[in-house]
């Protein structure tokens, strides 16, 4: 194995699968890959070595991640780091007392981690559009497009983060747009097509990641957004709406699920639209908690 592949933020699932001692589903491999790439990016930004990583680097990494991610995501990130260290026959730094102690503190701090995420609604999106549509600030143009696109397509953070310009297909004759996600194409509304067009016109992006960070001088970054950036974009919506409950990167997905259910869509239709492998999460989002827990149990049994 070439260690250099694992020291860049461009690790792919094929390379990762080849180094692991067990077989995993494609979804698990994608999660492991994203976790590891996030860790490598953190190490690069802080000028520390990712492989082998120090226990201090991992401790600081999970403490920072705890500000924007759920406990389950932090645990999975540690599993990803552990797998790759084991594959290279390094000592597993995630098993140190320092890291376990930090994880224990995070677990205590996140006792309400399973609390239902607050959903954003179409009425809220209308209000945000009313506030920002005439703005020429790149951040306003980008954020409006992100909020609407994530709501319409029930996007996960990772799906938004990975979107490339090549995934977008405009039809100027019909003023419509298709978005490719996991090799499937999804139509978006004329309104969201307009917002997406405005972002591309003002950002001058011609290839690569569709959505990117913007600095205070209105310069658009080369790299795509990370989870922390997406979290801040939704916290900004919260501030603009003067909303008492904080949004997160899942808020568009949760809010869209609730509205689809109110419009009469079945759970299985919503599951397909949101690309869930199980109906458990859409059931949880609309308040069918008992059914959600049963379906989670069934899904875990099938995986076992």
The pairing of beta strand 212-214 with beta strand 184-188: unpaired
The distance in angstroms from the start CA to the end CA of the chain is 29
Close Cβ partners of 224 (under 8 Å, ≥ 6 residues apart): 161, 162, 163, 208, 209, 210, 211, 212
Position 1 scores a pLDDT of 66
Domain ranges for the chain, please list them.
3-109, 122-264
How many whole angstroms separate alpha carbon 147 and alpha carbon 33?
Answer: 25
CATH code reported for the domain at 3-109: 1.10.150.130
What is the pTM for the complete model shown? 0.64
Position 113 scores a pLDDT of 54
122-264: CATH topology:
hpI Integrase; Chain A (1.10.443)
Position 136 scores a pLDDT of 94
How many whole angstroms separate alpha carbon 85 and alpha carbon 35?
Answer: 14
Position 298 scores a pLDDT of 43
CA-derived radius of gyration, the chain: 20
Position 303 scores a pLDDT of 46
Q: Nearest-5° angle of CA 39, CA 104, CA 116?
A: 80
Position 257 scores a pLDDT of 96
Position 276 scores a pLDDT of 92
Position 244 scores a pLDDT of 72
CA 177 to chain CA centroid, nearest Å? 22
Secondary-structure breakdown of the chain: helix, strand, coil percentages, each rounded to the nearest 5: 60, 10, 30
Nearest Cα residue to 121 out of 287, 280, 211, 241: 241
Q: Which residues of the chain have pLDDT under 50?
A: 289-304
Which parts of 146-267 are beta strand (E)?
168-171, 176-181, 184-188, 212-214, 220-224
Position 299 scores a pLDDT of 39
- Orientation angle between helical segments 138-153 and 251-262, nearest 10 degrees: 50
Query: Under DSSP, is residue 157 helix (H, G, I), strand (E, B) or coil?
Result: helix
Kindly tell me the burial class for residue 148, based on how many C-beta atoms sit within 10 Å of its own C-beta (0-12, 13-18, 19 or more).
Answer: buried
């Amino acid at each position: 194995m070439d260690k250099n592949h694992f020291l860049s933020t461009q690790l792919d699932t094929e390379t990762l699968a080849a180094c692991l001692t067990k077989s995993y589903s494609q979804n698990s491999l994608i999660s492991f890959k994203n976790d590891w790439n996030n860790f490598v990016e953190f190490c690069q930004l802080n000028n520390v070595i990712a492989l082998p990583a120090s226990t201090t680097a991992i401790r600081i990494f999970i403490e920072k991640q705890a500000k924007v991610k759920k406990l389950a995501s932090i645990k999975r990130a540690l599993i990803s780091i552990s797998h790759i260290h084991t594959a290279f026959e390094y000592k597993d730094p995630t098993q140190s007392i320092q890291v376990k102690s930090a994880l224990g503190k995070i677990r205590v701090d996140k006792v309400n981690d399973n609390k239902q995420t607050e959903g954003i609604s179409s009425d809220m999106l209308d209000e945000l559009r009313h506030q920002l549509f005439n703005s020429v600030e790149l951040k306003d143009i980008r954020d409006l497009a992100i909020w609407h696109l994530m709501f319409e397509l029930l996007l996960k953070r990772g799906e938004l983060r990975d979107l490339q310009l090549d995934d977008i297909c405009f039809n100027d004759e019909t003023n419509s747009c298709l978005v490719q996600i996991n090799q499937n194409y999804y139509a978006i509304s004329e309104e969201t097509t307009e917002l997406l067009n405005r972002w591309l016109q003002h950002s001058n992006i011609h290839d690569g990641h569709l959505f990117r960070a913007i600095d205070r001088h209105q310069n658009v970054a080369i790299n795509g957004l990370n989870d922390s950036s997406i979290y801040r974009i939704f916290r900004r919506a919260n501030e603009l709406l003067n909303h008492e409950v904080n949004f997160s990167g899942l808020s568009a997905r949760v809010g869209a699920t609730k509205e689809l259910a109110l419009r009469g869509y079945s759970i299985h239709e919503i599951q397909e639209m949101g690309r869930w492998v199980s109906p458990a999460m859409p059931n949880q989002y609309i308040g069918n908690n008992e059914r959600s827990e049963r379906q989670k149990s069934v899904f875990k049994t099938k995986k076992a």
